[in-house]
Structure 1
Amino acid sequence: MSQISNFIHALENSTAHRPIRDILSGEVIQNTKLLPVIMGIALDVNNENHYKACWTLELVIEHNINWLTDYVDQFCNTLPSFSHVGAIRSISKICMFVAKYHLKSLKTNNTFLTEKQAQQIIETSFDWLISDTKVASKAYAMRALFEFGKLHDWIYPELQEILSKDFAHHSPAYQSASKEILQKIAKTKP
């Protein structure tokens, strides 16, 4: 079997356990010819293993966010299509990485996202925040929105309203993340 076939087989048989994800992401990091493979599977929501690819992709992008550059348009266009809980958790975390990196790149007069792509991430993050998504995904979404709020002044009031309104109806983990973001927003006000 070829290295790509072996990788796909390992991915199909993987679990969300961190050591397994570390091995698979390590393979991609060591051999970037596997990057189009993992991207292709992760961004194809009709692939029955796309969520497993998302678990690995999260670690790959955390290692080197610039590897998303050639795929960012496809990534942003696919965002509303993710419905698997495991995929959304990893993809929302990647959105948080992207939001932070985009703001960082703007400080050096570069852009990582187009305005349309940023808008797609913002809209999807708000959707995750107000839908019946798991807490981890909501926490990553609110953190991404906090970053984008530094560029768009309409985001903080919307985010504050949602977080304040939903606060009492969620778990302690959600409340902790929500409180953190609300405090950060409060510090940004003059």
Structure 2
Amino acid sequence: MTTDQLYADLNYVNHSREKRLHYANLVINNPKLISKLLAVLFRVDDKISCRAAWVLEFMCHENLEYLIPHLDTFTANIHKVHLDPAVRPIAKICEYLAKAYYAKTPNKIQLHLNPIYQERIIAVCFDYMIHDEKIAPKAYSMNTLYLFGADYDWIHPELVIILERDFQMQSSGFKARAKHILKKLKK
């Protein structure tokens, strides 16, 4: 399948779990499609890129390790993604990566998520926190930043400042997640 064929197929992806999972499994069963999926994802001004993001998120949920050979491309380009329906899955994938990296059970993400990839994820998560993003990317970013703060001692103080500064102006969903994170940070 070419990138153009994948692009055409992504027209059939919608919000349904069934469609997203179908295309995620298509990619899982043919890992050579991941680079093509990323190529579509990083056509950041094209609405089809959002559908590629949805499929990538589902693929990562099913098997995050499939992203390992593509971590450089993924982390080098995530800052370009700006359409709301694509930002949420990017933030979720960043959270998956952070959770895997800090998991107690040894896994391949821990071996391959090097400091440059971590720094790119941290930068995009702070961008999501300080810019006018919806609650989901902010919530995923809070958790990602909290986790990476275990190794980067400057993250937690910055995160506290942002959460406390924005607390009153944000939604109840933001407030609930922020309270949870702040409570963990102040232990």
> What TM-score, normalized to structure 2?
0.88
Name 2:66's counterpart in structure 1: 67
Distance change (3 Å), C-alpha of 1:172 and 1:46: closer
Say if 2:6 and 2:37, in contact at 8 Å, map to a contact too: no
How far apart are residue 22 of structure 1 and its match? 1.8
Residue 177 (structure 1) shift: 1.1
Greater shift in the superposed pair: 109-118 or 55-64 = 109-118
C-alpha displacement at 1:5, in angstroms?
A: 6.9
Residue of structure 1 in register with 2:57 after alignment: 58
Shift of 1:14: 2.1
Match of 2:22 in 1: 23
Shift of 1:3: 9.2
Pairwise CA distance, 1:106: 10
Deviation string, structure 1 residues 37-65 (Cα, Å, up to 9, x no partner):
32221233255411110011001011111
Distance verdict in 2 for CA 1:65–1:180, change over 3 Å? same
Structure 1 residue runs without a partner (length 5+): none
Describe how 1:158-177 pairs up with structure 2 within 5 A.
158-177=158-177
Q: What per-residue deviation string (whole Å, max 9, x for no partner) do you get for residues 44-101 of structure 1?
A: 3255411110011001011111111111111111021111101110000000111122
Change (3 A) 1:46 1:122: same
Question: Which residue identity does 2:174 align to in structure 1?
Answer: Y
Seq. identity, % = 31
Q: 1:36 is matched with which residue?
A: 35
Q: Is residue 25–residue 57 contact of structure 1 (8 Å, CA) maintained in 2? A: yes
Worse-matched range after superposition: 107-116 or 65-74:
107-116
TM-score, normalised via structure 1 length: 0.87
Contact 1:102 1:112 in 2 (8 A): no
Conserved 8 A contact 1:58-1:94: yes
Structure 1 window deviating more from structure 2 (72-81 vs 11-20): it is 11-20
Within 5 Å, give how 1:30-179 maps onto structure 2: 30-104=29-103, 110-179=110-179
The code of the aligned residue for 1:154 comes to W
SS at match of 2:153: coil
Matched residue type, 1:121: I
Q: 1:70 to 1:43 in 2, by over 3 A?
A: farther
Decide whether the 8 Å contact of 2:129 with 2:141 is kept in 1: yes
- CA 1:72–1:52: 2 relative to 1, 3 Å: same
SS of residue in 1 equivalent to 2:123 = helix
CA 1:103 to 1:134, structure 2 compared with 1: closer, same or farther past 3 Å?
same
Instruction: Indicate if the aligned counterparts of 1:58 and 1:93 stay in contact, CA closer than 8 A.
Output: yes
Residue 108 of structure 1 deviates from its aligned partner by 7.3
- The amino acid across from 2:148 in the alignment is F
Q: Deviations over 1:150-169 (max 9, x none)?
A: 11111111101111111111
> How many residue pairs get matched?
186
What is the alpha-carbon distance in structure 2 between the residues aligned to residue 33 and residue 107 of structure 1? 26
Which portions of structure 1, spanning 4 or more consecutive aligned residues, are displaced by more than 3 angstroms? 2-8, 104-110
Q: Quick check: 1:43–1:74 contact (8 Å CA) kept in 2?
A: no
Structure 2 gap segments, 5+ residues each: none
